[in-house]
Copies of this chain bind each other. A is one copy, B any other.
Amino acid sequence: MFMLESVSSTVKKVKSQAANILTLVNLSLGSLALLFIFKGSLTAGFVFIVLAALFDRFDGMVARKLQIESEFGKQLDSLCDLISFGIAPAFLLYQTALSDFGIPGMLFTIIYIACGAIRLARFNITEFTGAFVGVPITVAGCILAVGYLLVPVIPSFVFMFITILLSFLMISTLSIQKR
């Protein structure tokens, strides 16, 4: 009887933390992406960013389905997004294209990360009403990551343009309906 109660209490705890566990999986995948990009395994880095994007879809869905949405979960999600869709794709593209441009390449990488952080900070203090203000960092990060696949066929300077365009779209007041 005691054992049954203990198991039931553990199941309840895991259920209440299910969305946060998925968010931490997203963070781990983003950090793994960055570690592999560091080691020069760029395709592995790309794959981990794509996996992080899949888990990012899940955590919000699970939180809503199990009705366990929390302010802590929202904060953790934003911090994870900064790694998986801010820093990791920015460094993936820096390694493959932007590093050709020296200091401007570094500057554009930093501007992308800074605009991602501004977008997330603004999102965290805004009540969500069904439409995003500015392009979400998840979308911008996935576009940058897909850009990696196009590096052999598109000139490097185009990626400088894409990086700065996505940076400004993130902090713009463009309204995007959530699907």
A38 to B110, CA, bound (A): 14
The 8 A CB mask of A63-85 against B (1 = contact, 0 = none) is 00000000110011011101100
Residue A91 lies at the interface, judged by CB distance under 8 Å to chain B: yes
Residue A22 lies at the interface, judged by CB distance under 8 Å to chain B: no
**CB–CB B122/A79 < 8 A:** no
Residue A46 lies at the interface, judged by CB distance under 8 Å to chain B: no
Chain B contacts for A94, CB-based, 8 A: 35, 38
**A110-B75 contact given A34-B87, A38-B38, A87-B83, CB 8 Å threshold:** no
A80 to B79, CA, bound (A): 10
Report the copy number of this chain in the oligomer: 2
**A114-B72 contact given A38-B38, A79-B78, A121-B79, CB 8 Å threshold:** no
Q: Give the distance to chain B from A84, nearest Cβ to Cβ, in Å.
A: 11
Interface size class of A (residues with CB under 8 A): 20 to 34
**CB–CB B113/A83 < 8 A:** yes
Chain B contacts for A118, CB-based, 8 A: 24, 76
Question: Chain B: which residue is nearest A113 at the CB level?
Answer: B31
Residue A124 lies at the interface, judged by CB distance under 8 Å to chain B: yes
Chain B contacts for A1, CB-based, 8 A: none
Residue A3 lies at the interface, judged by CB distance under 8 Å to chain B: no
24 A–B contacts, CB within 8 A, in A order:
A24-B114, A24-B117, A24-B118, A27-B110, A31-B87, A31-B110, A31-B113, A31-B114, A32-B110, A35-B94, A35-B110, A38-B38, A38-B94, A75-B121, A75-B124, A76-B118, A76-B121, A78-B79, A79-B79, A79-B82, A79-B117, A82-B82, A83-B87, A124-B124
